[in-house]
Structure 1
């Protein structure tokens, strides 16, 4: 079995990474998981969180994603993020923008509660919590962005 697998991360705006890795840690909607060479083929829905790559040399890099999908195979992981940024690009302003989007989704879910159901409001509340956790992980202040547009 190979020691590394190919990892590709793209968002609608750009390609964020295309590198060999020995491990990818993903924020799955059903729980966090790690993919390594030889992993069973699966498709994973992602929640907002940090994607952590472990390179062949043991170095780590992180990307903040707001959700998306990952296709895992024995020799590759392809991730399509709704929105993604390398950790070093997530400034307070970028994070505030991401939080405004999350607040907007929460507000829309509350407005559609009668038509869409309570589970959409619950999912939106969880998404806000996940987004706040990203900011805390990076060392940003989630309270600076609590007022939605």
Structure 2
């Protein structure tokens, strides 16, 4: 059994990461999922949250993902993200402003459909802010 697993993070815009890692923790829909070499094959939904990429016992990289899918084989783990951003690239003040604007959009929505869309965007912006302010898996 190999010590490392190949790991890719792909967004619609680009390939963000492709390297061999010791472990990765992904925010799967059912809960955080740790993946190492030899993991059982799985396909799962990814919820908004932080991907933590480990080298040894410490986190080397973090990415915020807005959701998507993951596939694990014995040799490789691939996350196909709806949106992905390195945590260090998140602008906290811009995200806080976005949350304020989206909160206003929710309260000023003209109908239920518009309100639900604004609430979904607001939840995503809050998850992004949390990822930037409180990194998981230190």
Structure 1 position 91, deviation (Å):
1.1
Q: CA RMSD, aligned part only? A: 3.3
Say yes or no: does 1:132 pair with 2:137: no
Which SS does the other structure have where 2:77 is aligned? strand
Residue 143 of structure 1 corresponds to: none
With normalisation by structure 1, the TM-score equals 0.70
User: Cα distance, 1:54 vs. partner?
Assistant: 0.6
Structure 2 unaligned blocks of 5 or more:
none
Aligned-partner Cα distance in 1 for 2:70–2:60: 19
Are the counterparts in 2 of residues 3 and 56 from structure 1 also a CA contact under 8 Å? no
CA distance in 1, matches of 2:46, 2:32: 9
Residue 75 (structure 1) shift? 1.0
For residues 97-134 of structure 1, give each alpha carbon's deviation from its aligned partner in whole angstroms, at most 9, with x where no partner exists: 9859x878xx7x94289xxxxxxx6xx96885464243
Specify the alignment match of 1:28 in structure 2.
Answer: 28
Aligned residues: 129
**1:66–1:131 Cα contact (<8 Å) kept:** no
- Which segments of 5 or more consecutive residues in structure 1 lack a partner in the other structure? 114-120, 141-149
Alignment partner of 1:64 is 2:58: no
Normalised to the residue count of structure 2, the TM-score between the two structures is 0.74
